[in-house]
Amino acid sequence: MRGTMELPVNQSGENMLSKNEGSASEQANNQRFGKRSSAGRILPVMAWNGIFRNGNVYFPYLAAGIFSVFTYFVYVSILKNDIIKILPRSSYAWMMLRIGKSLLVVILMLFLIYANSFLVKRRQKEFGLYHILGLEKKHIGSMLFIETLLVYAGVMAGGVILGLVLSKLLFMILLRMCNLPVDVSFVFYPEAFWETGVYFLGIYVLNLVEGFIQIGKAKPIELMSGSRKGEKEPRFLWFYALAGVAALGFGYYCAVTSKQDSMLFTNFFLAVFWVIIGTYLLFTSGSIVFLKWMKSRKSVYYRPGNFITISGILYRMKKSAAGLSNICIFSTMVIITLICTVVLCVGMDSMVHFVYPYDMTVHYRDKRITREELDQEIEALEEKYGLQAARVDLYDKLELSVRKENDCFVQQKAKAGFDSDSYAEDYRLGIMIQEDYNAIADRTVGLAENEALIYCTGKNYGYDTIDFFGNAFRVQEEPDNFFPNPKSEENTFGARYLMVVKDRQVQDTCVRAWAEANGVEDMDAFLNSGTQYVQIILEGADTEKADFLNEFGEWCQSRPGFSQLRDNVEDRRNEETMYGALLFIGVVFGLIFFMCLILIMYYKQITEGYEDRNNFDIMQKVGMSDTEIRGTVHRQILMVFGLPLFGAVCHTIAGMIMVKGLMVLISFYRMDMLFWGTVGVIALFVAVYGASYMTTAKAYYRIVRNGGRE
């Protein structure tokens, strides 16, 4: 504190100017200049020393800032790179990354502001000491400005350098995940540097303003005790505790009762909002209500171990409840992000093949091709390219738009605007004759004129009879599976029906009834408008099929009656590109959430040991043994660590119904994989969390056992 000797103070902490040195203006100016120059020389040194003297809180903050700058810089660099826009199918990845960037902007800003608020609070005692020793608030503010400038320069330099080193590697990883060409150059653009610098400059300016406000409104005595001051206990504890239970209950209700319909996203955000509110209220009020109730039970409270444990946890909850609620929320984010990332990575292949089971699909109208000419062309291509066709299906099917009402298929309702309920029972229904069905399914099904086979790619039909626009059928069978249309009970949005009837005459009767109900005028043309499907699957990897399918597609397009061709191999690649971008975003955000969690846990657990060690020193002096101290420490830390973990697991279990709905939206139907992925990720997280608990408990115990003696 050498610089403070040049700034003498009186008892009120204000700077004193000698009144006995004359009243000449020149002397006064010299004094003012000398004071400014003294402060100007020492404040940068104090700012620099302040960072290193408080390394236990500043260094993790700097590391988090560097990681944040690195993440944002890499993200922006990829988006600014022209190559991501011109690569084939890269528009899907670019779109997903743009969405991810919007989330990244919000998450990094909130996290760094929260971390800074804890940092300022930890240093309030130091700022109070500076004030008492003679520094005015404007000097402390100037020192804080210099510190913020140093931190900003450090994190920008570290993050950008790290980004320059690793950006190309991460870009290659993104391309690999998205199944895009990786033999491309990666170019840095100045816009990425400027955007990153401006964004983080805004964050650190907000942090600086928050520090100015905290210092400006506080008195020296408040600054001296600020780091040990906990959050204020709410005035209406029971009210807020009950409100927390209600909010959490409503959030769980939204999550558990959510359906896979157009309201899924609305319910998701409602559930997240109310769960966050409920978590915060239960930690800040509910926990205190419970601990006070435990304290009121004399038979429980007045025991040596419980007395210290309950009192310590009650103090800690008053001080750190908000931070613990953040740990709980970030833990939930980490778990759910990891679950989605793991199952997406493992199940990507099954997802794309569920939507596109065939390698190529060709439609014909009016005129048809024969089985003989199709087989002849396939055999010639097999011999030419050395590939075998696993299956080639040729059949007729006419698809109609219908509405299902119990066991009746009726005309769809006219809709004015979007109404999720009006769309809930609307389907596409295909009608096929049994001859074609038997050929595709490799079965022998015999139907009477009043019998039908019904199949749904979603939930089972579930009735014994079918009323199709006034035509009654008895359901002979509802197959468990039908290859051209894979089945999943979870398939809600893309579910389709297939009705197999005896012959063409019965099919025409059904189609005519549909056409009359929908006001079709040219009945004969409509009856002949059915589609002939040619679908093929080749053996081998998708990368080996291009030449075969290109030539086969050209042949199909040259035949009379050609209507449409769909290259499903290319469609699968497009889907893989989109899912790969989602996977990349999931990995990035999983790392960010984990970083936030670790830093908050560090600040809230390890550093509190330095505040509590004097209390345990007193306990040692009054006769508390080392074993009793160790047991008390473990109970307190276990409670503090256990509550957020318990809450995160409960939140995850309640939210898995919504997660399942969100995964279904991207055609993930392997619920067994989702279940075991959830179990595995939770078990892994509990193990990592437990290891953090053991490490923290040992470090915390070493701190409090020393009783303030380093």
CB 319 within 8 A of CB 122: no
In a shared domain, residues 612 and 692: yes
Give the 3-state secondary structure of residue 402. strand
Both tokens assigned to 507: 């099919």
| Average predicted confidence (pLDDT) for the chain | 77
Q: What is the pLDDT of residues 404-447, one digit of tens each?
A: 888 899 988 765 444 445 556 788 899 999 999 998 888 888 89
List the one residue out of 68, 93, 78, 96 whose CA is nearest residue 169.
78
% of the chain with per-residue pLDDT over 90: 18
Supply the pLDDT for residue 345.
Answer: 83
Length of the chain: 710
How would you classify residue 442: left for phi > 0, otherwise alpha for psi between -120 and 50, otherwise beta? left
Kindly report which listed range (78-82, 231-235, 566-570) carries the lowest average pLDDT score.
231-235
Q: Give me the number of domains the chain comprises.
A: 3
* Residue 537, beta-bridge partner list: 391
How open is the CA angle 572-575-579, to the nearest 5 degrees?
135
- Which uninterrupted H or E stretch holds 400? strand 389-405
In a shared domain, residues 276 and 181: no
User: Does 122 have pLDDT greater than 80?
Assistant: no
Give domain status of residue 180, yes or no. Answer: yes
Which range of residues forms the domain containing residue 694?
252-355+568-710
In a shared domain, residues 69 and 159: yes
Give domain status of residue 8, yes or no. Answer: no
Supply the pLDDT for residue 11.
Answer: 36
**Distance, CA of 317 to CA of 323 (rounded, Å):** 9
How would you classify residue 507: left for phi > 0, otherwise alpha for psi between -120 and 50, otherwise beta? alpha
In a shared domain, residues 526 and 434: yes
In a shared domain, residues 621 and 660: yes
Per DSSP, 258 falls in state -
**Distance, CA of 693 to CA of 12 (rounded, Å):** 45
Sign of the C-alpha dihedral, residues 23, 26, 31, 35?
positive
Give domain status of residue 611, yes or no. Answer: yes
Give domain status of residue 693, yes or no. Answer: yes
Supply the pLDDT for residue 450.
Answer: 92
Q: Which residue has the higher pLDDT, 277 or 57?
A: 277
**Distance, CA of 360 to CA of 381 (rounded, Å):** 14
CA atoms within 13 A on the CB side of 532: 18
How would you classify residue 119: left for phi > 0, otherwise alpha for psi between -120 and 50, otherwise beta? alpha
List the one residue out of 61, 594, 657 whose CA is nearest residue 332.
594
List the one residue out of 222, 496, 502, 243 whose CA is nearest residue 355.
496
Supply the pLDDT for residue 418.
Answer: 44
Give domain status of residue 91, yes or no. Answer: yes
Kindly report which listed range (78-87, 137-146, 700-709) carries the lowest average pLDDT score.
700-709
In a shared domain, residues 72 and 205: yes
In a shared domain, residues 575 and 697: yes
Residue 284 to residues 127, 234, 240, 450, Cα–Cα distance (Å): 28, 8, 9, 67
- Which uninterrupted H or E stretch holds 476? strand 471-477
Give domain status of residue 547, yes or no. Answer: no
Q: Which residue has the higher pLDDT, 502 or 82?
A: 502
In a shared domain, residues 336 and 410: no
User: Does 9 have pLDDT greater than 50?
Assistant: no
Q: Which residue has the higher pLDDT, 472 or 230?
A: 472
User: Does 387 have pLDDT greater than 80?
Assistant: yes
Q: What is the CA radius of gyration of the chain?
A: 35
In a shared domain, residues 73 and 168: yes
Residue bearing tokens 């014909």: 364
Domain boundary among 183, 208, 224: 224
In a shared domain, residues 323 and 410: no
Bridge pairing between strands 465-468 and 471-477: antiparallel
Q: Which residue has the higher pLDDT, 696 or 655?
A: 655
Kindly report which listed range (16-30, 494-508, 539-553, 639-653) carries the lowest average pLDDT score.
16-30
SS3 assignment for 270-295: HHHHHHHHHHHHHHHHHHHHHHHHHH
Out of 78-82, 299-303, 305-309, 372-376, give the one with best mean pLDDT.
372-376
SS3 assignment for 677-703: HHHHHHHHHHHHHHHHHHHHHHHHHHH
* Residue 389, beta-bridge partner list: 538
pTM of the predicted model, to two decimals?
A: 0.70
How open is the CA angle 638-643-646, to the nearest 5 degrees?
110
CB 332 within 8 A of CB 655: yes
Bridge pairing between strands 562-567 and 451-456: unpaired
Q: What is the pLDDT of residues 237-263, one digit of tens each?
A: 788 888 888 999 999 988 888 776 656
Q: What is the pLDDT of residues 21-60, one digit of tens each?
A: 344 444 444 444 444 455 556 767 777 776 777 666 777 7
Q: What is the pLDDT of residues 85-96, one digit of tens each?
A: 655 556 656 676
Domain boundary among 169, 204, 224: 224
In a shared domain, residues 419 and 503: yes
What angle, rounded to 10 degrees, do the helices at 607-621 and 304-355 form?
Answer: 160
Give domain status of residue 619, yes or no. Answer: yes
What DSSP assignment string belongs to 281-335? HIIIIIHHHHHHHHHH-HHHHSSHHHHHHHHHHHHHHHHHHHHHHHHHHHHHHHH
Both tokens assigned to 75: 């993200």
In a shared domain, residues 593 and 518: no
Supply the pLDDT for residue 171.
Answer: 77
Kindly report which listed range (25-34, 341-350, 424-433, 609-618) carries the lowest average pLDDT score.
25-34
Alpha-helix residue ranges (DSSP H) falling in 446-559: 504-517, 523-527, 546-558
**Distance, CA of 626 to CA of 35 (rounded, Å):** 52
Phi and psi for 511 in degrees, rounded to 5?
Answer: -65, -40
**Distance, CA of 237 to CA of 287 (rounded, Å):** 10
Phi and psi for 432 in degrees, rounded to 5?
Answer: -135, 150
Give domain status of residue 175, yes or no. Answer: yes
Kindly report which listed range (333-342, 410-419, 432-441, 515-524) carries the lowest average pLDDT score.
410-419
**Distance, CA of 277 to CA of 318 (rounded, Å):** 17
